[in-house]
């Protein structure tokens, strides 16, 4: 995204954002909002001001933040402010359970302890549905780093973990790395990449590159096991919801 928007953070004021929400609230009776913003919580001061403005204007709303929030930008103050203003659904951009992949390769600069801390702070509020985004298949991934991701997904109290096979988009350092080191697998035709729908409409069953130290068949086997874990966690969540609904109705 920085290739289009640049590296400088530009934002609308908190007042301007909530002015727009208030217009939709009063004129069109909108009560649910989605913030499509990867940097919504980049500024703690601005985030809290948006929440305070929502409360000050008595806007009885719910809102979601389904673009992955930067974990390092969150703390107790921000989470409490978001929930008090109507936050009911959000996503965290965790990316990997491996400190090496997450911080050295992807450069997220987020400790594993911080990930668990923030998830714990959010889950104090049972009304907030939490998603988490992960990526697998980076060139530097190994069996060990993949298992770290598997274990984190298994351990975290997340309502919906989502795992995407890494996609090396043209124009990124990852794409250049894959070309340089010939990591693209055989069915990726770089000459017709511009019309390959699977680069943005993937079902996560296809891999576009082979990590340095893992064979493609190993990646496919890992994906199968991971998908089973995701299905098991989803079924467990559904059973808990049904159990809660039954108990609540008695």
Over residues 101-107, mean pLDDT:
97
More confident residue, 239 or 107: 107
**Distances in whole angstroms, Cα of residue 61 to Cα of each of 18, 51, 54, 77, 123:** 11, 11, 8, 20, 20
Q: Please give the DSSP secondary-structure letter assigned to residue 209.
A: B
- Looking at residue 237, what is its pLDDT? 82
**Is the Cβ–Cβ distance between 83 and 89 less than 8 Å?**
no
Tens digits of residue pLDDT in 110-166: 999 999 999 999 999 999 999 999 999 999 999 999 999 999 999 999 999 999 999
- Looking at residue 239, what is its pLDDT? 76
- Looking at residue 41, what is its pLDDT? 94
Ordered domains of the chain (ranges, CATH) = 2-249 (3.80.30.20)
Q: What angle do CA 135, 9, 17 make, to 5 degrees?
A: 100
Global pTM value: 0.89
Tens digits of residue pLDDT in 60-92: 999 999 899 999 999 999 999 999 999 999 999
- Looking at residue 108, what is its pLDDT? 94
Look at 5-9, 23-27, 45-49, 224-228 and tell me which has the smallest mean pLDDT: 5-9
**Is the Cβ–Cβ distance between 230 and 222 less than 8 Å?**
no
- Looking at residue 198, what is its pLDDT? 73
Both tokens assigned to 249: 């109705």
Q: Give the largest CA-CA distance in the chain.
A: 63
Q: Is the pLDDT of residue 240 over 70?
A: no
- For the four alpha carbons of 144, 145, 148 and 150, in that order, the dihedral sign comes to negative
Both tokens assigned to 82: 């978001």
Tens digits of residue pLDDT in 171-229: 899 999 999 999 999 878 888 888 877 777 778 888 999 999 999 999 999 999 999 99
- Looking at residue 3, what is its pLDDT? 60
**Is the Cβ–Cβ distance between 187 and 230 less than 8 Å?**
no
Over residues 12-18, mean pLDDT:
94
Contacts for 84 with CB less than 8 Å, ≥ 6 apart: 51, 55
Kindly write down the DSSP assignment for every residue of 51-108, as one continuous string.
HHHHHHTT---EEEEEEEE-GGG--HHHHHHHHHHTEEEEEEEEE-S-HIIIIIIS--
Closest CA to 223 of 244, 235, 201, 207: 207
Helix (H) or strand (E) holding 130: strand 129-136
Count how many Cα atoms sit within 13 Å of the Cα of residue 164 in the half-sphere of its side chain: 15
- Looking at residue 1, what is its pLDDT? 52
């Amino acid at each position: 995204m920085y290739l289009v928007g640049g590296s400088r953070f530009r934002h609308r004021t908190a007042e301007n954002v909530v002015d727009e929400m208030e217009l939709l609230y009063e004129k069109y009776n909108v009560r649910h909002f989605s913030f499509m913003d990867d940097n919504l919580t980049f500024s703690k001061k601005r985030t809290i001001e948006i929440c305070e403005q929502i409360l000050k204007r008595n806007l009885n709303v719910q809102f979601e933040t389904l673009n992955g929030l930067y974990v390092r930008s969150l703390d107790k103050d921000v989470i409490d402010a978001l929930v008090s203003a109507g936050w009911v659904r959000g996503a965290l951009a965790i990316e990997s359970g491996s400190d090496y992949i997450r911080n050295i390769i992807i450069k997220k600069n987020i400790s594993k302890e911080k990930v668990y801390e923030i998830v714990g702070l959010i889950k104090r509020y049972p009304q907030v549905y939490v998603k988490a985004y992960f990526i697998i298949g980076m060139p530097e991934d190994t069996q060990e780093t993949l298992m770290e991701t598997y274990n984190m997904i298994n351990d975290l109290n997340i309502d919906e973990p989502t795992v995407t096979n890494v996609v090396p988009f043209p124009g990124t350092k990852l794409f250049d790395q894959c070309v340089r080191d010939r990591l693209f697998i055989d069915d990726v035709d770089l000459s017709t990449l511009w019309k390959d729908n699977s680069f943005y409409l993937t079902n996560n069953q296809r891999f576009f590159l082979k990590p340095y130290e893992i064979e493609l068949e190993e990646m496919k086997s890992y994906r199968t096991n991971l998908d089973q874990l995701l299905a098991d966690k989803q079924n467990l969540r559904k059973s808990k919801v049904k159990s809660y609904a039954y108990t609540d109705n008695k």
